[in-house]
Amino acid sequence: MKKLLKKTIWIFFICFHFFQIEIIQAIVPYYYFPTIKNLQKQSLYIGKNAYQLLYFGLYEDSLNLAKLAVKINAKDEKLWLILAETQIANKKYKNALNSLNKAEQINPNISEIYFTKSNVYLKISQQTKAKNALEKGIKIEPNNHKAIFQLGNILLMEKNYLGAIKLFDKSIKIKPDFWQAINNKGLAYFERNNVNLSIKLFESAISIEENAEPLLGLASCINIQDNKLAIQLAKKALTKDPKYVNYDYRKEQLWGEKLQSSTEILLQNEQLKKDVILAKSKIN
């Protein structure tokens, strides 16, 4: 009897203890602590969303999301690059450079960091720094035709026409149908008084892409020898992109003083009067 009693007490004690544990566990709240790997995944997801918002023109929202992504994971250079892009869109150029420096500290072997830096430096009129940044990027990615073209554009701004032409040639060698580089070679040769070569280059650019810029460039080149065709080309150019009627806009597109003068003479032609007025009204 004593043995049976003892056994019963032990069973009761064990059951009581077991149920008590279950009750205690039932009332203790459960907390989820994400792993570092999960946090990194979330930060990349947020960063991609920030980039998408940037694409849709929601600049402030994209900036806020990019900041959040970097706060979650400050060791990913891609997130710093995305943050820099959103800062550029919001015209926070100093902040963008700081973000790019952070990205460079994490991984200095990403060409995009230097290409983006160059873009920022150009926006704040620091051409020498822009050139240096591009050169660093091109060392990492020597066949980037757009970066080589941009470096040529900086030399074009500096009126180093031969240097610019060499870089445009290099860019075209990598991508033969890169009409922008062919067009800008035409700009450079015009300033060197080689009008015939400019004509060929503008014609070549038009054969790839019938863009307003080479159309108007060609019109300005041939105005004296074939005024009728020049007017037709100018009309087509202004219809395609009215902004080219504006002197300052053409300057932004790196048109030199000689080509600008020739274009101003062409646009004063009486037969283009209505087209010029219409183009200006569209800009306004």
Domain ranges of the chain: 177-284
List, for residues 197-209, the tens digit of each pLDDT value: 999 999 999 999 9
User: What does the pLDDT read at residue 23?
Assistant: 43
Q: Match 């646009």 to its residue by tokens.
A: 267
Res 122 pLDDT > 50? yes
At 58-92, the pLDDT tens digits run 999 999 999 999 999 999 999 999 999 999 999 99
Whether the per-residue pLDDT at 250 is higher than 50: the answer is: yes
**pLDDT at res. 51:** 79
Of the candidates 237, 201, 204, 245, the residue with the CA atom closest to the CA atom of residue 219: 237
Q: If 0-12 CB within 10 Å is exposed, 13-18 middle and 19+ buried, where does residue 59 land?
A: middle
Select the CATH number that applies to the domain covering 177-284 from these four: 3.40.50.1370, 3.10.580.10, 3.40.50.620, 1.25.40.10.
Answer: 1.25.40.10
With a cut of 70, say whether residue 24 has pLDDT above it.
no
Structure tokens belonging to residue 46: 């947020």
| pLDDT at residue 45, as a whole number | 73
Rounded Cα distance between 104 and 115, Å, is 12
19 pLDDT higher than 60: no
- Model confidence band, residue 158 (pLDDT cutoffs 50, 70, 90): very high
